[in-house]
Amino acid sequence: MTALSVPSVPADLALARLREATPLVQCITNSVVTGFTANVLLAVGAAPAMVDLPEEAGIFAGIAGGLLVNLGTPTPQQRDAARAAVVATDRWVLDPVAIGTLPVRTALAAELLQSRPAIVRGNASEIIALAGLGSGGRGVDSTAGAEEALEAATSIARSAGAVVAVSGEVDVITDGTETVRVPGGDRLLTLVTGGGCSLGATMAAFLAVCDPLSAAVAASVAHAVAAEHAARTSSGPGTFAVDFLDALAALDPSDLRDREAHLQGVS
């Protein structure tokens, strides 16, 4: 008797599929990280497109392989674009940036959650705030560890039917039943703006080629391994961000296979 493996599509296979498919990934994201996010998607093997007009976002979501909705700087147009896009696809990621104290994005995150994202990605403070269990952290800064948000993540996963990924020193990813922990990465990634936001985009890319839990784990593993590679060659946050893109582009599926083995030990 063999147990179902968790996740069902291992990260190495997911990456091989992604490279083969080069899926279009639509990003409705904040103005700070657009360029870096697009470069991360290109490096990982996807084709980014930021289509965030209300009149165009729904049309494009129907064509795209995956969609990211990131609430970092949600202009009125982006809010309407997000509403139009999330009803046009099931393959979308919600990143509730800095919700909690700030009213516009907090209300919007609650509203969009009703449209059943495949994945919710955030830091611990954001996930706790989204579950209605806390008031949020300091903007994009999390004041709580990922493990502290496990109860909130599980609650959202069960009520919204989504995979919830909490970013931290160890990423905690749950579908409400199974929980996967992805260790690794590097502290320097927290000194690069868009480190977390681009992870949400990579999850959206993987949604084009596998199920939500597999997609969230594969993206998390890919970013962790690439960050470790970049940390070896860089000498600060500037060179790290650049080398991270090189490392993502150079990732071989086998680099993730070794990490999979480690994952199965901790899940």
Q: Which residues sit at the interface with its own copies, rule CB under 8 A?
A: 24, 30-36, 38-39, 42-43, 47-53, 55-56, 59-60, 63, 72-77, 98, 101-105, 138-141, 191-194, 234-239, 241-247, 249-250
- Annotated binding residues for ATP, written as ranges, equal 121, 167
Nearer to its own copies, 3 or 232 (CB): 232
Q: Which is nearer to its own copies, 101 or 177 (CB)?
A: 101
Taking Cα atoms as reference points, which of 3, 9, 5 lies closest to residue 214?
9
Residue 18 and residue 33: Cα distance in Å, rounded? 22
User: How far is it, in rounded angstroms, from Cα 149 to Cα 125?
Assistant: 7
Cα-based angle 227, 51, 60 (whole degrees, multiple of 5): 110
Give the amino acid at 95: D
Q: Which amino acid is at 201?
A: A
Q: What's the CA gap between 150 and 156, in Å, rounded? A: 10
Q: Smallest distance, Å, CB 8 to its own copies?
A: 28
Please report, for residues 71, 101, 130, the alpha-carbon distance to residue 139 in angstroms, rounded to integers and kept in the order given.
11, 9, 14
Using DSSP's 3-state secondary structure scheme, residue 88 falls into coil
Collapse the DSSP code of 24 into the 3-class scheme (helix H, G, I; strand E, B; otherwise coil) and give the result: strand
Question: Which residue, 53 or 170, has its beta carbon nearer to its own copies?
Answer: 53
Closer CB to its own copies, residue 33 or residue 213? Answer: 33
The least CB distance from residue 38 to its own copies, in Å, is 4
CB of 60 to its own copies, least distance (A): 7
Q: Which residues are documented as binding site for substrate?
A: 50, 194
How far apart are CB 35 and its own copies at their closest, in Å? 6
Q: How far apart are CA 76 and CA 90, in angstroms?
A: 23
Q: Which C-beta is closer to its own copies: that of 153 or that of 226?
A: 226
* Residue (6 or 87) nearer to its own copies, CB: 87
Q: Which residues pair with 254 in a beta bridge?
A: none
Cβ-contact 82, 104 below 8 angstroms:
no
Q: How far is the CB of 250 from its own copies (least distance, A)?
A: 6
Residue whose structure tokens are 């990280």: 33
d(CA 51, CA 61) in angstroms, rounded, equals 9
Cβ 211 to its own copies, closest distance in Å?
24
